Amino acid sequence: METAGQNRRRITGLVLVFGLALLGLSLAVSSPAEIIRGEWQILTSRSILVTDYIALGGLGAAFFNAGLVSLMGLAAAWLVKARFNGYLLAALFTLAGFGFFGNNPFNILPTMLGVYLYETLFSHKPMRDLIAPLLFGTTLGPVVSQTVFGFGSGVGWLALGLALGILAGMLLAALMNHIYSFHMGYNLYNTGTTGGFVATVVYMMMRGFGLEITPVFYWSTEYTGLLTLGLVVFLAAVIALGFAWGGNFSEYRQIIKSWGRLPSDYVAGSSLGTTLVNMGVVGLLALGYVRLVAGDVNGATIAGILTVFGFGALGKHPRNVLPIMIGVYLICLPKIWEPNDPGPLLAALFCTTLAPLAGRFGFLVGILAGAIHLPMAMHVGSLHGFMNLYNNGFAGGLAMLIIVGFIKGLRPHWLEDPLS
């Protein structure tokens, strides 16, 4: 039987090695001077959607940035004495993924500080209970970057950007539990939904003062083969490590049977070893989808793959993610979009936020959910000025507000998961 201390040591070791490996890889593919120049471009970019840091700063700088934010997330977990469980694994690897796609050391710290201030001034909860908004709240990092680097320059814009980041973090921490009550855990990216509402309010205020945001598009294509190989090696190694740490098929069958509704913490419900096996498997499924539709593997899609991988510890498994991906693919067949276009490709990865719906109501409902989700995800970004990195979490949350509300009015007991 695993103990909390053993899980803490193992998860710490896994994330530490991952973060240090990214830093080492940065030096293997780029010179220190190239990394410094690229990291400066990353730190001073607007970082709104869609900003692939590989395209913006180069491969080495993107690895370096992702390594830094991974280690910063781990350090924050230790500082607040977080529980080393499925929530933390999901948060840390989502943060690591977005280290390639919108998060950097400059823009994540103000939102983290905002969450801390909220806890200190208002909630009086132990900080360990706010690890989700602390790490997932970095979805609003672009609020800081856009304000500081997108509207002007100087100390005034810097101060305003930092203040808005702190305020956004406070609002996010305050609202998350209320947003959860709307979708009842059927949208795994609860912070993405909350962040979407917060960012929308911020953007509407900006527009009220005459500040408009134009989208950007950085999308690399030249490293797909190399990055695919690296991800396969990493994901296979995690599966092997999971079996080495006691993962077994009996526990895995129980994971597969679950609906996946929040809070489905697989570390607490089964074991860390079996959870790592599931994480590796769903990560390979996500990577496999990208390659099957001839999609690019770059900073943006790595963020999606690592997010699916992380949530393999918190609600996702093959049975409930595949129908959602298939639904996105099928809605592309009428040639509205191509499956390997950037928007549909990212939606197929991130829309697995709706996995609990497929887990509860079955394969066909999951396909329908994916098909409905894609058009929403393609159009809600402009509502929040492209400043909420978890855009699909926002789209999924909006969909679930309607679907869950309808089911609650029809048959409330259908939504109660006996295994959660």
Reported as a single tens digit per residue, the pLDDT across 174-215 is 998 888 877 778 899 999 999 999 999 999 999 999 999 999
The confidence score (pLDDT) of residue 17 equals 98
Which amino acid is located at 108 in the chain? Answer: I
**Residue 419 pLDDT more than 50?**
no
- Separation between Cα atoms, residue 314 and residue 352, nearest integer Å: 12
**Burial call 10-29: b when 16+ CB within 10 Å, e when fewer:** bbeebbeebbebbbebbeeb
- The CA-CA-CA angle for residues 208, 214, 218, to 5°, reads 150
420 — pLDDT class (breaks 50, 70, 90): very low
Dihedral Cα 193, 195, 197, 199, nearest 10 deg: -150
Region 216-222 average pLDDT: 97
What percentage of the chain exceeds 90 in pLDDT? Answer: 81
How many separate helices (H) and strands (E) can be counted in the chain? 20, 0
Question: What's the token pair of residue 271?
Answer: 């074991």
**Residue 408 pLDDT more than 80?**
no
Cβ atoms 264, 314 nearer than 8 A: yes
- φ/ψ of residue 400, rounded to 5: -70, -30
Record the pTM. 0.95
Region 389-411 average pLDDT: 81
- Separation between Cα atoms, residue 409 and residue 22, nearest integer Å: 48
**Residue 92 pLDDT more than 60?**
yes
317 — pLDDT class (breaks 50, 70, 90): very high
Q: Cα dist. 184→282, 308, 364 in Å? A: 23, 20, 21
Residue owning tokens 């909630």: 123
**How do the domains of the chain map onto residue ranges?**
224-414
**Residue 398 pLDDT more than 60?**
yes
Cβ atoms within 10 Å, residue 312: 30
Q: Which residue has the higher pLDDT, 334 or 278?
A: 278
- Separation between Cα atoms, residue 117 and residue 98, nearest integer Å: 24
**Residue 122 pLDDT more than 50?**
yes
- Separation between Cα atoms, residue 311 and residue 90, nearest integer Å: 5
Predicted confidence (pLDDT) per residue in 341-389, tens digit = 999 999 999 999 999 999 988 899 899 889 988 998 998 999 999 999 9
Cβ atoms 351, 100 nearer than 8 A: no
- Separation between Cα atoms, residue 286 and residue 302, nearest integer Å: 10
- Separation between Cα atoms, residue 323 and residue 364, nearest integer Å: 7
- The CA-CA-CA angle for residues 219, 224, 230, to 5°, reads 125
